[in-house]
Amino acid sequence: MHGGRELTSPHVVDIDLAADERGMREALTVARQGLDRGELPIGAVVMADGVVLGSSHTEEVTQRRLLVHAELLALEEADRQERWDRRSATLYTTLEPCLMCVGATATALVGRIVWAIESDCDLAGRICREWDAGRPPELPQLHLPEVTGPVGEAPAAELFRAYVDARGDSCDPFVRWAATLIGHERAVV
């Protein structure tokens, strides 16, 4: 185990902590860009063989839509690239992904997800572990990515703290939810 709890899958080997830390630094940089634009500080980067294939921050405020999660946008950008080894690729994200983003990662055939902050309402790791445990062996093409986290939790928590603190006494449900992720006193209103 490295950087926190690790949930393993038989689909990916050769986990490199230094590569995971580098990938998470990239995701944190993208999350900061989102925070600067008024978005939740959720950044995502798809990397394979040390190369960034796609990156984005969430754009729910910018686009005024809900289905523009950072992970989906980064996966979409990566999917447009040609000739990359999908199974050896990793999605780095500053927040444990939701079910929709786990499904998109699996559909894109990306081998791993590495997250920074755990989200009790998203639970990507548990979803993948339970799926793999109950998956019929005659369906080998149905694969969920290996999920690892937390990696880079402290700097990601600082970004979420900045997001919450910048919004004063907001009743915005996104602010209240973000506060729960970091144990901020504003979570209980």
- CA angle 173/177/183 to nearest 5° reads 140
On whether the CB atoms of residues 127 and 144 are closer than 8 A, the answer is yes
CA 180/CA 120 separation, integer angstroms:
9
CA 122/CA 51 separation, integer angstroms:
27
Sheet of 90-95, strand order: 6-7, 146-148, 112-117, 90-95, 43-48, 51-57
Place of tokens 């109950």: 134
60 is catalytic: no
H/E stretch holding 59 reads none
**Catalytic: which of 59, 71, 146, 153?**
71
User: Which residues are tagged catalytic?
Assistant: 71
